[in-house]
Amino acid sequence: MLDRSYLAGPANEVATYLLGAVIRNSNQTLIITDTEAYGGFDDPASHAFKGATNRNRSMFGQAGVLYVYLSYGIHRCINVVTDSEGIGGAILIRGGLAITKNELDSLGRPRISVISGPGRVGKYLGAELSDDGVDLFGGLNWQLRGNGSSLSVGSRFSTGMRIGISKATDFPWRYYLEDPLDTFSEQELLFALNRQ
């Protein structure tokens, strides 16, 4: 069972714990399949690199809270904060599997679609800037659930360079599933779904 203590380390060391985990807001549910780690003073590409500001303050807070920022003035991107208080770190959610319980496919199963890109993730989950800093463990609307209520990824993930950055482009801190729908069997997906 994923809890706050799993996220107490550096973002790049704990990011894979989020693969296969479930993040939800109100009635929207996402199985996380694509993540990027952002550090603190050790990571020039991180919002936290130059210290705490009004925008990135939650990155320096306790692990397991949400960090929401406005990207290109348009998109609301969500992160899971990691590491100890006072140390900046967060894991950007870049993509996942969206479960739409109300919509059934031609075989009567809940429709599962791929969400790709941090802007689309924020949009799907209805993230707002006012959600910045909310606790993902024990909160009402936002929740993060791993292992036991989520899918087991094991070693079936890939590592690569982070997308869209101009600094620290050689940090292999992206952790993702190449083909998320094919990574899990239908049995696994339905199991995870029934645990929601």
Partner DNA sequence: CCGGCGATTGTCT
Partner DNA sequence: GACAATCGCCGGC
Among the listed residues 38, 142, 175, 176, the single contact to DNA using CB under 7 A: 38
Q: Which is nearer to DNA, 33 or 192 (CB)?
A: 33
Q: Does 139 bind DNA (CB under 7 A)?
A: no
Record the tokens describing residue 40, joined without a space.
């603190």
79 phi and psi, to 5 degrees?
Answer: -135, 155
Whether the Cβ atoms of residue 123 and residue 166 lie closer than 8 Å to each other? no
Contacting range for DNA; rule: CB under 7 A; set: 2-10, 26-34, 73-81, 179-187: 73-81
Classify residue 130 by burial, with Cβ atoms within 10 Å: 0-12, 13-18, 19+.
exposed
Whether the Cβ atoms of residue 159 and residue 172 lie closer than 8 Å to each other? yes
Site for DNA in 93-132 (CB under 7 A): 117-121
Q: Does 68 bind DNA (CB under 7 A)?
A: no
Alpha helices in the chain (DSSP H): 11-14, 118-125, 180-183, 186-194
Q: Does 56 bind DNA (CB under 7 A)?
A: yes
Binding site for DNA (CB under 7 A): 36, 38, 45-48, 50, 53-56, 59, 67, 69-75, 77, 79, 90, 92, 117-121, 162-167
